[in-house]
Amino acid sequence: MCDWCLKHGEGKKWYLNVKNYSGDFLKDKAVIESAIKFFQNTEIMTGMAPPMVEEALNLKSDEEFSAMASSVEEMIKNLSPHQGQVVPIEDVREIIKLAGPMARVACVCRRMLRASFDEKTCIIVGPVYLEYAKEWPDFTRGGIEYLSKEEVLELMEDFDRKGYVHTFWKDMLSPAVMGFCNCEFPTCAALRYRRNLGDWLNFFLRKAEYVAMIDYDKCTGCGRCISRCQFSALTLSPYLGKAILDMKRCAGCGLCRNVCEEGAIKLVPRTEVPAVRNLW
C-alpha cells in the first residue's frame, strides 16, 4: 500500500472505504471538473489518443526521447499514484455492497480499438461519474442501462466465467470512485500498456492487493488456468508437467484460481510475499 492508499483507505483498502463513494463529491467543484475533463478527453486520459502516441514514436534522437520521458514523468507525478486497480471477484462483491447507483455503458476501450459499442462491460458507479456521464451522449453511445446491485453482481460473475479481468477505477485527481471495467488483452488500454510496455506505466493500473500462489503438489498440469491469464504470467512446463506461475507478472486477478478444479491456486495478500510486496 502506498501513502495515497493509507490516506484514502483509512486502514482499509481504498476501494473499501465508504467515504470514497460519498455524495459529497457532487459539491466539490474540482472533482466535477475532473469528471467533465474525462468525458471530454477520454482518449487522452486513457493514453490512447493516436496523435500523442505517434508523436512519441516519431522522436528520432535520444535527447528528444529523454525530453519526452521527463515530461511524461512530470505529468505522472501530478496525478494520484493510481487510477485503477485489479480486483478479484471477492472484492468486487464487497465493492458492490458499498456502491450507490450503477449503470453499464459500452466499453471505453473497445469502442476505440474495435469501433464497437456492443460490448457493455463498463459499469459506472455513482455518484459523480454516473451523474455527469448523462451529459455526454458520445460517452454513453450504445445506451446506458441502469442496474440493481444483484444485476451487477450477476453480470460481474458472468464476466468472470468469460475470462475478463475486473478492474476498479477512480477519478484522476480525487479518491471519488468511477466504476468497474472488465478487461482483456489487448483490447484494454491498461492491460495492453502493462504487457506491451512493461511496468513503468504502472500508475495507470495497479496490480491487485493479492497475488496468486500455486500449490505445486496439487497441480495436475491440466492447463485450464493458463488460458485464463491475461497478464502472460502462467506457462505450462512440459518438464514439470505443471503450470508454472511468474509471480512477478501476476496481477492477482484470481481468474486462474476460479477454474482450478484441484484447488491448487489461492490468492494471498501481496504484502505477505516478500518477492512481490513492492511490485504494484
Partner 1 sequence: MGRLRGLMVPERTVRVRINREECEGPLRCGRCLRRCPAAVFITFPRAREKGKICEDWEIAVDDTFCWGCGLCVRVCPRGAITLSASEGST
Tally of residues, the chain: 280
- Distance between CA atoms of 87 and 129, rounded to whole angstroms? 20
Measured from the CB atom, the residue of 4 and 200 that comes closer to partner 1 is: 200
- The grid cell for 138 is 458520445
* Position 54 contacts partner 1 (CB under 8 A): yes
Among 69, 98, 144, 273, binds partner 1 (CB under 8 A): 69
Give the amino acid at 45: M
Q: Which part of the chain contacts partner 1 (CB under 8 A), choosing from 20-28, 132-140, 231-239, 267-275?
A: 132-140
Q: Binding partner 1 by CB under 8 A: which of 78, 115, 238, 239?
A: 115
Spatial neighbors of 144 by CB under 8 A, at least 6 apart, are 103, 104, 105, 133, 134
Rama region for 140: left / alpha / beta (φ>0; ψ in -120 to 50; rest): alpha
How near is the Cβ of 160 to partner 1 at its closest, in Å? 22
Closest distance to partner 1 from the beta carbon of 138 (Å): 5
3-state helix vs strand vs coil in the chain, percent to 5: 40, 15, 40
Q: What is the footprint of partner 1 within residues 85-104 (CB under 8 A)?
A: none
Residue closer to partner 1, measured from CB, 51 or 274: 51
DSSP assigned state of 198: T
- Residues from 25 through 44 that contact partner 1 (CB under 8 A): 40-41, 43
In the chain, count H helices and then E strands.
Answer: 11, 11
How far apart (Å, rounded) are the C-alpha atoms in residues 125 and 194? 24
Q: Tell me: does residue 272 bind partner 1 (CB under 8 A).
A: no
- CB under 8 A: which stretch of 52-60, 78-86, 90-98, 149-157 binds partner 1? 52-60
> How far apart (Å, rounded) are the C-alpha atoms in residues 219 and 250?
17
Q: Does 147 bind partner 1 (CB under 8 A)?
A: no
Residue 143 within binding range of partner 1, rule CB under 8 A: no
Is residue 84 within 8 A of residue 190, CB to CB? The reply is yes
> Cα 210–250–54 angle (5° rounding)?
120
Q: Which CB sits closer to partner 1, 11 or 198?
A: 198
Q: Kindly tell me which of 94 and 145 has the beta carbon lying closer to partner 1.
A: 145
What is the binding site for partner 1 (CB under 8 A)? 40-41, 43, 48-51, 53-54, 56-57, 62, 65-66, 69-70, 72, 111-116, 135-138, 141, 186-187, 192, 196-198, 200
